[in-house]
Structure 1
Amino acid sequence: MLQKYTEEFRYNIKLSVPVILGMLGHTFVQLADNIMVGQLGTAELAAVSLGNSFVFVAMSLGIGFSTAITPLVAEADGAGNKDNAKSALKHGLVLCTVLGLTLFGLILLAKPIMYIMKQPIEVVELALPYLDLVAFSLVPLIVFQAFKQFSEGLSQTKYPMYATVVANIINIVLNYILIFGNFGFPKMGIVGAAIGTLVSRFFMVFYLWFILKTKDKFKYYVTGFNFAKIEKRVIKKIIELGFPSSLQMFFEVGIFTSAVWLSGVLGKNAQAANQIALNLSSMTFMFGMGLGVTAMIRVGNQKGLFNFKELRRIAQSIFLLTFLLEIFFAALFLIGRHWFPTLYLDINDVTSITDNTEVMIIAAELLLVAAFFQISDGIQVVVLGALRGLQDVKIPTVITFISYWLIGFPVSYYLCLHTNLKSTGIWIGLLIGLTASAIMLYLRFNYLTKKLIAG
């Protein structure tokens, strides 16, 4: 019985590993920033957390929107239609560039909100100059996403990974030089981390475009664009798929961002601990995201072939693989919850021993809850990927809103501010919201695939 699902594991892993490594690359930029900035102090770590919370909200809209390109390209590829795939990329690039510039402008306009959010003032003052540069890095990041989603739609998942890995090396080198002022450069602190992020993201775009352009197999798709000829039909299709997908990601990232802001009300140490737990959870979440992209590609291909029984079997094989992987991560968080926080702080710094000890205690409690929501988080994102492959985006958007904002956030808010659970209460709310999302999205997938098979 299980073999009809497990026999797909090898191909699912082969397809998803480059995607996972590429997505881990995005998170690794934050990990490198957090570990290096954490050596400066808890206020600096909290400032990076606060600045990134604004960027993550905007980034969720951009990345979510770009995911519309993958199922369109996958369906065109399954049907053998190269022109449609190229058209999806061209129009996706136009929309992603406009969106990146718009989100950058909106973040700049939103900066004064930091002063009315009851965040520690020293954290806000450190976060503002960092935010300017990291917000601008959204423009190349979202353009990169357009190329990445296109490449993944053709089941070519390794090239975006190469671009991300090389960009990470550049980011770490620049961080080392600019944060701490090595090799004769000025010591720039967290602004140095922002410069490293900005430069590495511009590099990613040009590197991925160059790789695709030099491969005969992809040259047709990525060259000879006529941007003067924009088709309303294609723009409308991408927006119809992309806007709900961006809202889905926005609702999820939004609740995690609310966790940053709620923990900021509790003080800089609670915020720094939240950032550690959030960064570690983001690393494992990328495995679910990568498998979600695999589900989107494979479901999109089968949809193009009108093979709905195979579509359901393949999707369920990916769900099972995700479930097994997330159990492993849950065990990892349980076992390592006291050790992981020590990676982010200078535990030998005598002047900060009180702050650092408090941060490590809070972070260990948060990782205990995070261990349990690994499974819910992984399942909900992979089922969401399968639904995107089916080009079903409107009902899942409603489901994510209900799960995170009508169920999860009220629990987080109440337990944080009105009980002794405080930071832990925030994460219990996240766990409940993710679990609700996983259950409702799976029920939606189950209903739709049975309906398609019945004809």
Structure 2
Amino acid sequence: MLLANYTKEFKYNLQLAFPVMLGMLGHTFVAFADNIMVGQLGTAELAAVSLGNSFIFIAMSLGIGFSTSITPLTAEADAEGNVEKGRSAFKHGLLLCTILGVALFLLILLAKPLMYYMDQPPEVVELAIPYLDLVAFSLIPLIMFQSLKQFSDGLSQTKYPMYATLVANIVNILLNYLLIFGKFGFPQMGIIGAAIGTLVSRTIMFLFLWSLLKMNSKARPFVSGLTRIIHNSMIKKIISLGFPSALQMLFEVAIFTAAVWLSGVLGKNPQAANQIALNLASMTFMVATGLSVAAMVRVGNQKGLKDFFNLKRIALSIFFLALLIEIAFAVFFWIFNEWLPTIYLDENDISNQIDNFEVISIASKLLIIAAIFQISDGIQVVVLGALRGLQDVKIPTLITFISYWIIGFPVSYYLGLYTSLKSSGIWIGLLAGLTTAAVFLYIRFNFLTRKLLKT
């Protein structure tokens, strides 16, 4: 009976999270499609996309993390029936995300020369530089889209971002096919074609979601009647929640980006293998991210209602659901670790056969470690979502920094570059950081909810 108090929430949790999962998987599928198509060009091209995207992932983490501040504010306003408060969160959130998107684009342009000083393979850097220019510009529509997505999630309208992402994926795959390989009279552009596909699809994604929200009866009152008046109080509120949330996501994404760079020091084949394993792990992580949004929305709703008993019960039900799903993914990675990397590379390509076999061998070992850290990674991101729903962001930011950069990165650096473990050692460091974060974030959540229940 006690267990049923939690499992009975599974159905609604999944209904709320499932569209988010599909939408987030759609983001990752853009990279998945790029990697598979670019992988047919060679391991140097695949490593170049990995290196270029490592810069993009850092910027994306700041933008996406910052935008998450819009969700709990919208969820709280929705539970209170306060349209004006929700409209203000939407308007100011969109404004700040647009400014941030432009700033991140300019920052990446300034940071490009760093590639030459990172001890990366020269042929990889030469391919990555022009690819990065176009993909960096796509950050502007992507982060603007994120502001709309987080608002829509806060209203529990999670299907609309999913629809927009699915449309964007269709456009991206079509343009990739036409432009990477030069089909049906289009120029053969290689990885530049992949970059163009990403830019166009992300622009369409933002415009499509905006049109859906304007037509939705629940969202329309919030996105209509916007004035030019700026309220400093809401700006400060969004920044106070968004900045620490951006840092939380930055600390996690940055350690995975560091894994890309450390792998590049080992060579182009370890870097390509790292990209394959990371892309696969990212897709399962998006499922946990969907549950994280469900936790943020449902905890934010219960906070608005001041129902702290059900707040904790619902949050624990989501944690339990995430644990079960991640265990299933861990088993999948463990069983198919040798087959999954072959999706990305052509084993019969005679000219690249030696490189391809080495990449597949390294990636299969990394997937064994990824199988284990699926569980820690899923738990930490779902608990983070619940803490954001409580609008608790400062202490979790400190926890993520210590977990990833005081514990995880030194382990990755030492084991990867100074032991025979090499690529596997880098990923053992990731496992150490994620597990530390999962444990201490849960302790933080338990502490806060026990305190709320006593009030």
TM-score strictly above 0.5: yes
Q: Is the contact between residue 263 and residue 274 of structure 2 (CA under 8 Å) also seen in structure 1? A: yes
Q: Which residue of 1 aligns with 2:172?
A: 171
Q: Which amino acid aligns with 2:397?
A: T
3-state SS in 1 of match to 2:49: helix
Q: Which residue of 2 aligns with 1:204?
A: 205
- How far did 1:346 drift? 1.4
- How far did 1:347 drift? 1.3
Deviation by residue 1:371-416 (Cα, 9 ceiling, x = unmatched): 0000000000000000000000000000000000000000000001
Matches within 5 A, 1:355-366: 355-366=355-366
- How far did 1:350 drift? 0.5
Matches of 2:197 and 2:58, distance apart in 1: 20
Matches of 2:279 and 2:181, distance apart in 1: 22
- How far did 1:220 drift? 1.8
Matches within 5 A, 1:41-440: 41-226=42-227, 228-440=228-440
Matches of 2:191 and 2:336, distance apart in 1: 28
Unaligned runs of 5+ in 2: none
Q: Is the contact between residue 209 and residue 222 of structure 1 (CA under 8 Å) also seen in structure 2? A: no
Q: Is the contact between residue 61 and residue 247 of structure 1 (CA under 8 Å) also seen in structure 2? A: yes
Matches of 1:122 and 1:223, distance apart in 2: 50
- How far did 1:221 drift? 1.5
Identity among equivalent pairs (%): 71
Matches of 1:246 and 1:138, distance apart in 2: 15
- How far did 1:202 drift? 0.3
Matches within 5 A, 1:18-57: 18-57=19-58
- How far did 1:281 drift? 0.3
Matches of 1:205 and 1:142, distance apart in 2: 9
Q: Which amino acid aligns with 1:216?
A: S
Q: Which residue of 2 aligns with 1:442?
A: 442
- How far did 1:222 drift? 1.5
- How far did 1:290 drift? 0.5
- How far did 1:176 drift? 0.2
Matches of 1:94 and 1:64, distance apart in 2: 15
How many pairs were matched up? 454
Q: Which residue of 2 aligns with 1:12?
A: 13
Q: Which amino acid aligns with 1:402?
A: I
3-state SS in 1 of match to 2:108: helix
Matches of 1:6 and 1:369, distance apart in 2: 29
Q: Which amino acid aligns with 1:429?
A: G
Matches of 2:8 and 2:173, distance apart in 1: 39
Deviation by residue 1:50-107 (Cα, 9 ceiling, x = unmatched): 0000000000000000000000000000111011001000000110000000000000
Matches of 1:328 and 1:146, distance apart in 2: 32
Matches of 1:2 and 1:38, distance apart in 2: 46
Deviation by residue 1:289-311 (Cα, 9 ceiling, x = unmatched): 11000000000000000000100
Q: Is the contact between residue 49 and residue 272 of structure 1 (CA under 8 Å) also seen in structure 2? A: yes
- How far did 1:217 drift? 2.6
Q: Is the contact between residue 97 and residue 147 of structure 2 (CA under 8 Å) also seen in structure 1? A: yes
3-state SS in 1 of match to 2:421: coil
Matches of 2:116 and 2:270, distance apart in 1: 18
Deviation by residue 1:304-355 (Cα, 9 ceiling, x = unmatched): 0000010000000000000000000000000110000000001110011100
Matches of 2:67 and 2:274, distance apart in 1: 28
- How far did 1:216 drift? 2.7
TM-score by length of 1: 0.99
TM-score by length of 2: 0.99
- How far did 1:420 drift? 0.3
Q: Is the contact between residue 104 and residue 135 of structure 1 (CA under 8 Å) also seen in structure 2? A: yes
Matches of 2:399 and 2:110, distance apart in 1: 30
Matches of 1:76 and 1:224, distance apart in 2: 17
Matches of 1:70 and 1:333, distance apart in 2: 32
Q: Is the contact between residue 155 and residue 219 of structure 2 (CA under 8 Å) also seen in structure 1? A: no
Matches of 1:307 and 1:125, distance apart in 2: 56
